[in-house]
Homo-oligomer: A and B are copies of this chain.
Amino acid sequence: MTRLPVVVLGATGMVGQRMLSLLDGHPGLRVVGVGASARSVGRPLGEALTWRLPGRLPAAFADLPVLPCEPGAFDGQATLALSALDATPAGPIEAAFRAAGWWVVTNASPWRMDPGVPLVIPEVNPDHLSILDGAGPGGIVANPNCCAIPLAMVLAPLHRRWGVEAVITATWQAVSGAGYPGESAWDMVGNVHPHAGAEEQKLAVEPQKILGGPHAPAAFPISARCVRVPVADGHLLSAHIRLRGAPRPDEVAEALAGWTGEGPPLPSSPRPLIHLDPRRDRPQPRLDIDAGRGMALTVGRVEACPIFGVKLFVLGHNTIRGAAGAAIANAELLRATGRI
């Protein structure tokens, strides 16, 4: 299989760096260009960015010149862009790429609830890509929020089998979810703080769009409390779940452990998708975050809830499964389904 040329937008930020890490040596995608904001344009990527991840910028990308985030800058080099842009610039830039006939897989929030944009977890709702069929060439595919992804993934097999009726969730969210520099260390040293952003609102609507039909969101309510904690990577969530028919916790656990997802196999999609950990004090972010090279979830403590029937903990890597890896898997899906 030839490797599909791809452009990374927002390459210098936290999620962009994760994308580059994951794309180094990727079997099906090949980075041919990188875009970033004006202050980086014109410099080799290796000089334009300060690498914030373990090790160093993969050598293969160090000499790529940083180009402006305009489709014209990458003319003829690719027709697929992975976007790690911040929410504010993402809207108009991604619209411009779409208008020029590109496929854009974006991690940014502006397009997520747009009815013309599929909000896709490739193992959950690959069929939502049909929203774009006939509308192209190209189109925008959105990643869900980094908390919405693990929540929707654990709800998926339960919703398919029993039907979700209500969810109350809480988060212990890592600081990398805010990008770089993101959270101030002053706020996070020996401290936690209630998330002052729109995280709770996103958790209240995105899973329903993902778990419903392409044009008909699921109807159950979600109520969330989101709190940032001094953890580098890894969002831990609790979920109290009311399911139709009130299955027992062991039935729920079995459904999660046995879940293989929908859609075609993808290079970035691990087996198993969900690690069910029976240990009482797991999952823990620092220890369990790399399951499935950051693309698997770990679920623990699936137990009876006296109010909703079942409750559990789920942990996911927020900048891999929840962002950079999610975008790459969506790109893989576009290709595996013959759209690109």
Residues of A bordering B, CB below 8 Å: 14, 50-55, 166, 168, 170, 172, 175-176, 178, 180-196, 204, 221-223, 225, 227, 229-232, 236, 238, 240, 279-288, 290-291, 300-301, 305-308, 311, 313
Q: Which residues of B contact A50 (CB under 8 A)?
A: 279
- Check B192–A229 contact: CB distance below 8 A: yes
Known: A54-B288, A190-B232. 6 other contacts (CB 8 A): A54-B286, A189-B232, A192-B284, A194-B283, A230-B230, A232-B286
Complex Cα spacing A194 to B290, Å? 18
Q: Which residues of B contact A225 (CB under 8 A)?
A: 170, 238, 240, 311, 313
- Check B186–A184 contact: CB distance below 8 A: no
Question: Can you name the residue of chain B whose Cβ is closest to the Cβ of A284?
Answer: B193
- Check A186–B182 contact: CB distance below 8 A: yes
Q: How many protomers of this protein does the assembly include?
A: 4
A181, A187, A222, A313: most-surrounded residue (chain B CB, <10 A): A187
Q: Which residues of B contact A187 (CB under 8 A)?
A: 185, 281, 284
A170, A185, A231, A282: most-surrounded residue (chain B CB, <10 A): A185
Min C-beta distance of A183 to chain B, whole Å:
4
Q: Which residues of B contact A183 (CB under 8 A)?
A: 184-186
Q: Which residues of B contact A231 (CB under 8 A)?
A: 189-192
- Check A230–B185 contact: CB distance below 8 A: yes
Q: Which residues of B contact A236 (CB under 8 A)?
A: 192, 194, 227
- Check B182–A223 contact: CB distance below 8 A: no
Q: Which residues of B contact A168 (CB under 8 A)?
A: 168, 240, 305, 307-308
From B176, B180, B223, B281, A194 is in contact (CB under 8 Å) with: B281
Q: Sorted from nearest, which 7 A-B pairs have the closest CB atoms?
A: A190-B190, A170-B170, A181-B184, A225-B238, A183-B185, A191-B286, A185-B188
Question: Can you name the residue of chain B whose Cβ is closest to the Cβ of A242?
Answer: B307
Question: Can you name the residue of chain B whose Cβ is closest to the Cβ of A227?
Answer: B172
- Check A230–B186 contact: CB distance below 8 A: no
Question: Can you name the residue of chain B whose Cβ is closest to the Cβ of A290?
Answer: B54
- A-B residue pairs in contact (CB < 8 Å), sample of 6: A53-B287, A181-B184, A185-B187, A190-B230, A192-B229, A229-B230
Complex Cα spacing A191 to B281, Å? 12
Q: Provided the pairs A231-B189, A287-B53 are in contact, do residues A300 and B194 lie with their beta carbons within 8 angstroms?
A: yes
Q: Which residues of B contact A306 (CB under 8 A)?
A: 204, 221-223
- Check A172–B186 contact: CB distance below 8 A: no
- Check B184–A172 contact: CB distance below 8 A: no
Min C-beta distance of A51 to chain B, whole Å:
8
